[in-house]
Amino acid sequence: MLQNILLMMGEISSIIPKYVTADKSTAGQAADPAYEKKLKKACADFEAMLVFQLLKTMRQSVPRNGILKPSQGRETYEMMLDQKIAEELAHKGEGLGLQKMLYNQITQHDLKKKD
């Protein structure tokens, strides 16, 4: 999973140089709406991966004493459920807010670097 996060961060960082124009008169505006959309999606996907890791860690901290015995099928189902919950949380509205903060941080950092 860490490898997926690193790949996602690489995808975000490859979009940044193409995203913001060097022209100060258009500072803060996207060079291309397609890149803005890709950057927003990458930020949302990053938030989904982080939420998935939080859910996975939370589930591992809960004792497994119960009626049902642990099985491979149950673990797979819980993993798929956690992934879907994380995706739905991240892609509904502004998610938990992390993607908006990440997006703003990336675009502001790049603008400061260009000045």
**Tens digit of pLDDT at every position of the chain (115 positions):** 556 555 655 665 565 554 444 443 344 455 578 888 898 899 999 999 999 999 999 988 988 777 777 788 888 999 999 999 999 999 888 888 899 999 888 888 666 666 5
How crowded is residue 109: how many other Cβ atoms within 10 Å of its Cβ?
12
Predicted pLDDT of residue 72:
84
Q: For residue 30, give Cα distances in angstroms to 47, 52, 78, 102.
A: 22, 30, 39, 16
Residue 11's nearest CA partner among 112, 83, 102 is: 102
Q: What is the C-alpha to C-alpha distance for residues 76 and 35, in angstroms, rounded to an integer? A: 35
* 3-state helix/strand/coil string of 80-115: HHHHHHHHHHHHCCCCCCHHHHHHHHHHHHHHHHHC
Q: What's this model's pTM, rounded to 2 decimal places? A: 0.64
Structure tokens at 104: 């703003």
Q: What is the C-alpha to C-alpha distance for residues 14 and 98, in angstroms, rounded to an integer? A: 20
DSSP 42-60: HHHHHHHHHHHHHHHHHHH
Predicted pLDDT of residue 52:
95
